[in-house]
Amino acid sequence: MLKRTLWTLSLALLVTAACTPVSPPDEERSSYDAWQDDVKAALKGIDSYLDEHDSENAAIVLDIDNTALETEYHPGKANPPVLKAEKYARKLGMTVLIVTARKEHAKEKSLAELRAAGYSPDDICLREFEESKSKGKARCRKEFTEAGHEITANIGNRDTDFKGGYYDRAFQLPDYDGQLS
Ligand SMILES: [Mg+2]
């Protein structure tokens, strides 16, 4: 009788073990983790790059969506590796410039969002009515350059963040073929 009970118990345990996944799947978390790994890889070495390119007028440019902020994953929250780079640039005395495809009417809301997330932007340039994303962003960098800033690092995540020049080096985070804005 005891033997039979033990056998039944072992069988029950075996069945339970076989039916319990080793680690429960969590697609949202794993895609976020993969994104964070890719972001860190894209920004690898940025601190020493900024050290080497520090100058009186040095500035960094940040895109907002899915660059400074985790728009796709946690709207309004800072993207930690970018915030870390921003803080490092600021520590060196560099100017922090925001260049975004968001339109002019979103200026105050965007600045408030960035400040609430921990950023200290010195200035922001937004897209004008009917301007394409790449044209608007290039215009913004041109205006900042003409105002005396030397854009040493341009951090964004879409091809449109990098067309048209007016920066020394691109740090391109992933957009997964346009899936991330
Ligand atoms: Mg973006």
User: What's residue 13's pLDDT?
Assistant: 45
Cα 14 from chain centroid (whole Å):
45
Identify the band that residue 159 occupies on the pLDDT scale cut at 50, 70 and 90.
Answer: very high
Ion ligand 1: protein residues whose beta carbon lies under 5 Å: 63, 65-67, 157
User: What's residue 7's pLDDT?
Assistant: 52
**Averaged pLDDT, 24-49:** 86
Span from the CA of 180 to the centroid of ligand 1 (angstroms): 7
Residue 171, both tokens: 């740090």
Least confident of 28-37, 98-107, 111-120: 28-37
- Kindly tell me if the per-residue pLDDT of 4 is higher than 90: no
Give CA angle at 126 (171, 86), nearest 5°: 40
In the chain, pLDDT over 90 holds for what percent of residues? 83
Span from the CA of 4 to the centroid of ligand 1 (angstroms): 64
- Cβ contacts of 22 within 8 Å, gap of 6 or more: none
Span from the CA of 65 to the centroid of ligand 1 (angstroms): 4
Q: With a threshold of 0.75, does the pTM exceed it? A: yes
- Kindly tell me if the per-residue pLDDT of 172 is higher than 80: yes
User: What's residue 30's pLDDT?
Assistant: 81
User: What's residue 15's pLDDT?
Assistant: 45
- Kindly tell me if the per-residue pLDDT of 29 is higher than 80: no
- Kindly tell me if the per-residue pLDDT of 11 is higher than 80: no
User: What's residue 180's pLDDT?
Assistant: 95
**Contact criterion met (CB below 8 Å) for 169 and 76:** no
Span from the CA of 3 to the centroid of ligand 1 (angstroms): 65
Residue 119, both tokens: 């950023």
* Coil/strand/helix, residue 141: helix
* β 95-103/169-172 pair status: unpaired
Least confident of 7-16, 106-115, 127-136: 7-16
Domain boundaries along the sequence of the chain: 31-172
User: What's residue 56's pLDDT?
Assistant: 94
Q: So what CATH class is 31-172?
A: alpha beta
Mean pLDDT, the chain, integer: 89
